[in-house]
A and B are shown apart, each in its own frame.
Chain A
Amino acid sequence: MSPLWIYLAIVIWFVLGSIISWQARKRLGKGIAEYFLANRRMGSVIGAFTLSATVYSAFMMIGLVGLVYSTGIGAFGFEIVFLATSLVLLALFVPRFWIAGKKYGYVTPAELLGNRYENRAIAVIVAIIFIITLIPYTAVQLMGAGFLTETLSGGGIPYWLGSLILPIIAFVYAWWAGMRSVAWTDALQGVIMLIGSLALLGFIWVVFFPEGMFSTITASFPEKLKFTWGFNMWLGLCLPWIFFMLLIPQVSQRFFMLKDVSSIRGMIIGFGIFGLIYTVLVTIFGLAALHIVPGLKAADSAMPSLLSLVPTALALTIAISILAASVSTINSIVLSLSSIAGRDIVRVVAPKISEDRELLWGKLLIPIMFLIAWGFAQLKLGMIGILSTMSSGGLMCILPALLGAFLWKRGTAAAVISSSIPSVIVIGWFYMAGLKPLGLWPPVWGLIISTVIYVIVSYVTKPPKKAAEFIDYTNNWRANAKAMVE
């Protein structure tokens, strides 16, 4: 495909997004909550789309298609475990995050932990962990874009340039109008992701499977329909993703933004429906690619190879839908990290800083984060799916602290600090060195270490005074939400 077509499609898509972003910009008020949380007034529909588009990234259309292509139905199951468990956890924890945000004015999840455990160092440590673990995750999105545009253009658009286009677009959407712009453009990206995927499904079903898709795949690739994953791989990949929604700040920060309980409900159900449709579509693409483009050595190239066989207009639509998935993820990550840097690091270093200054610091970090992620993407490390999991795996170190914050009054600040630092070091070390002691993957070890230390240290140290008040208030979120309405 001519690079000119790809550039043209990107320009049209960018202009469309910019118009939406401009509308958001016109409504932009003053202050941190306005810029980073859309003034805590997000409704159901935008909430569902921005959550879905943020969570479902290029990993789906590049990484998961590749994982289904190489390992079969197990990859579908892994994504389904994430979706089903996430829905239950969302119903349990979103109201708690939301009511805590309303009462205490939290802007970031790191701030919530620091305040709940009455220790500012915790906010700083968690903020640094977020930044370190999410840079590879952002880079993964850029890698997906780089591979995709390079393959589609037959090398006409080099990898470095393809991976640079996304941060530029995401920077524009995020920087000049903040979260409202990001959430609104996410809704556009979500619609593009669904429309593009449905169009591709219709085309490949009619053109490549005249005798029926399911019967052809069953006859030709029965081994891919069997579950072939080993238990340790299943556990190692599923475990971080089960708690993914609670752990990654660009998602949990969205829980602070919702307008009311009705918006919470709409967001959760909308996310479930979006996730189900998109996951099924992506799985079918992975299985269909086995028949259409058999024998690929690099599984991650399954989707780009598939697109090289469909008409230009459709290939461009899908390519844009994949780029849309990436942009909606990275602008959310970077906006979230910049708010975390401003609130949880700069404000701790300079406690008397004005809100305007804090906002300025946060905004300054946006381009720096993008540049670091782009630099990381140039290293082209490993399989996209594994890299994504490594990012979420690293965050397992704060899971006991997060669950304890909402559910266990005995949890202490010393326990959070002493559990999160060693476990994130162990997770990172095991990943880098390729270590899997007893066959268990790094996140499993990270969770074991952080849980054991968190519980033991909590029992031998004194819990903060705020713990009981915080947990009682968030546990009684129904009564408190009702009182808020009245």
Chain B
Amino acid sequence: MKGNELQLLWAFIAIIILTFVMPFAVLKHTPTFSGGFTFFLLVPVVTILYIAIYMAKSWKEMLK
């Protein structure tokens, strides 16, 4: 794994930590849509945006 691919690994670890901590620390106490539903909705939205930006920047030369 080289250079900027390491940031993908960090992103993967961040998602794991976030989704394995938040549900048990916070979402057990939020019986509304603005709690668990919104959190779990935002996780993939942010991930899709991040991956799109990552590929546009890091894969630029191969996309020509």
Q: Which residues of A contact B (CB under 8 A)?
A: 73-74, 76-77, 80-81, 83-85, 87-89, 91-92, 214, 217-218, 222-223, 225-229, 231, 234-235, 238, 242, 260-262, 265, 268-269, 272-273, 275-276, 279-280, 283, 407, 475-476, 478, 481-482, 485
Contact = CB atoms under 8 A, between A and B. Distances in A.
B51 to A, nearest CB: 5
A80 B19 contact: yes
A92 B9 contact: yes
Interface in B25-56: 27-33, 35-37, 40-41, 43-45, 47-48, 51-52, 54-55
A275 B45 CA distance: 11
A272 B19 contact: no
Interface in B5-23: 5, 8-9, 11-12, 15-16, 19-20, 23
B44 A275 contact: yes
Nearest to B29: A226
Contacts of A218: 31-33
Contacts of A84: 15, 19, 43-44, 47
A80 B40 contact: yes
Contacts of B52: 269
Give the dominant DSSP class at A's interface. helix
A328 B12 CA distance: 28
A478 B62 contact: yes
Closest 8 CB pairs of A and B: A222-B31, A227-B27, A261-B62, A73-B36, A272-B48, A227-B23, A84-B47, A80-B40
A226 B31 contact: yes
A478 B55 contact: no
Given A91-B54, A231-B24, A475-B2, A73 B37 contact: yes
Name, among B27, B40, B41, B43, the residue most crowded by chain A CB atoms within 10 Å (CB to CB): B40
Nearest to A276: B44
Nearest to A275: B44
Contacts of B64: 485
A462 to B, nearest CB: 24
Name, among A73, A81, A84, A218, the residue most crowded by chain B CB atoms within 10 Å (CB to CB): A84
Counting contact residues on chain B (CB < 8 A from A), the size range is 35 or more
A88 B36 contact: no
B51 A269 contact: yes
B63 A262 contact: yes
Interface of B: 1-2, 5, 8-9, 11-12, 15-16, 19-20, 23-24, 27-33, 35-37, 40-41, 43-45, 47-48, 51-52, 54-55, 59, 61-64
B1 A475 contact: yes
B37 A225 contact: yes
Contacts of A268: 51, 55
A83 B8 CA distance: 15
13 contacts: A83-B44, A84-B19, A87-B47, A88-B12, A88-B47, A91-B8, A91-B55, A217-B33, A227-B27, A234-B23, A242-B16, A280-B41, A482-B62
Nearest to B10: A88
B54 to A, nearest CB: 7
Contact of B63 (A217, A261, A272, A407): A261
Contacts of A260: 62
Nearest to A83: B44
Nearest to B52: A269
Nearest to A76: B40
Contacts of B16: 85, 242
A285 to B, nearest CB: 14
A481 B59 CA distance: 10
A333 to B, nearest CB: 25
B62 to A, nearest CB: 4
Contacts of B27: 73, 77, 226-227
B63 to A, nearest CB: 5
Given A218-B33, A283-B37, 9 more contacts: A76-B36, A83-B44, A83-B47, A84-B43, A84-B44, A87-B51, A262-B63, A265-B55, A269-B48
B23 A74 contact: yes
A124 to B, nearest CB: 30
B33 A272 contact: no
Name, among A73, A272, A475, A481, the residue most crowded by chain B CB atoms within 10 Å (CB to CB): A73
